[in-house]
Amino acid sequence: MMNSMIRPSFHAVILAGGRGTRLGPYTTVLPKPLMPVGGHPILGIIIQQLQRAGATRVTLAVNHMADLIRAVVGDGSRYGLQVEYSLEESALGTIAPLKLIPGLPDKFLVMNGDILTKLDPSDLLEAHNRSGCRLTIASFQRDTRIDFGVLDVDPVRGRLLGHTEKPTYHFNVSMGMYAMDRSLLDSVPDGQHFGVDTLALGMLSRDEPVNIFQYEGYWLDLGRPSDFEKANQDILDLGLVEPDEDFA
């Protein structure tokens, strides 16, 4: 990890425009990025992490309940950095909203506004700069246990080929954190839904490499009630907030 005294500054974009339907009915009252974790909005925790890692400017890409997010977060002065807003008139995915943001630097960080992790954003950016790639995706190994006996079946003959009792499968999943070069946006269509999956697959189709940053620490996507509850149980032990710290 880089020394905090010599970390270069950077610009981060937080994708905070989703409706959070998987967290309903909670998100009928609050947008998902303002859902409290340990008494603090998850968005406030993320912005504070970014500031500590060296971010001096953060742009929030907003849509659903944008006015409420703006009222809570403000101009960023409480976090010690500059917060700006970019409004999507309709849902555009993870990459298309970036085309609406003026003044992006040559390299910048993008992350979802509903994740809790101890990954240092400056480490991700440093790895991206070293890679020589135009896109770096932060990756986490997620283990999924199947609570049934899994059958491997020959679909033609209808015969059993194998049987595994309650297996655990290992998947490399996207953490919802990316470092990227602004030049990639030249290939993104205006005003159309365009996600990081489409971007990455397009790069691979052109034989352009995509860098993967494998992370083995703590990470949670707060899209499901069970993960949201776990985040509230874990937050103080993670050291990301102090019991009396005021983020909003």
Q: How many CB atoms lie within 10 A of CB 30?
A: 17
**Looking at residue 239, what is its pLDDT?**
85
- pLDDT exceeds cutoff 50 at 59: yes
Q: For the chain, which domains are there?
A: 10-137+176-238 (3.90.550.10)
% residues pLDDT > 70 (the chain):
90
Cα–Cα distance for residue pair 243/248, rounded to 1 Å = 13
Q: What is the pLDDT of residue 4?
A: 44
**Beta-bridge partner residues of 107:** 181
| pLDDT range class, residue 1, cuts 50, 70, 90 | very low
CA 52-100-187 angle, to 5 degrees, is 105
What is residue 144's predicted lDDT score, i.e. its pLDDT? 93
Q: What is the pLDDT of residues 83-107, one digit of tens each?
A: 999 999 888 999 999 999 999 999 9
| Range 32-42 average pLDDT | 90
Residue 10 and residue 232: Cα distance in Å, rounded? 29
Q: Cα–Cα distance between 148 and 146 in angstroms, integer?
A: 6
Q: How confident is the model at residue 21 (pLDDT cuts 50, 70, 90)?
A: low
Model-level pTM? 0.89
Identify the band that residue 77 occupies on the pLDDT scale cut at 50, 70 and 90: very high
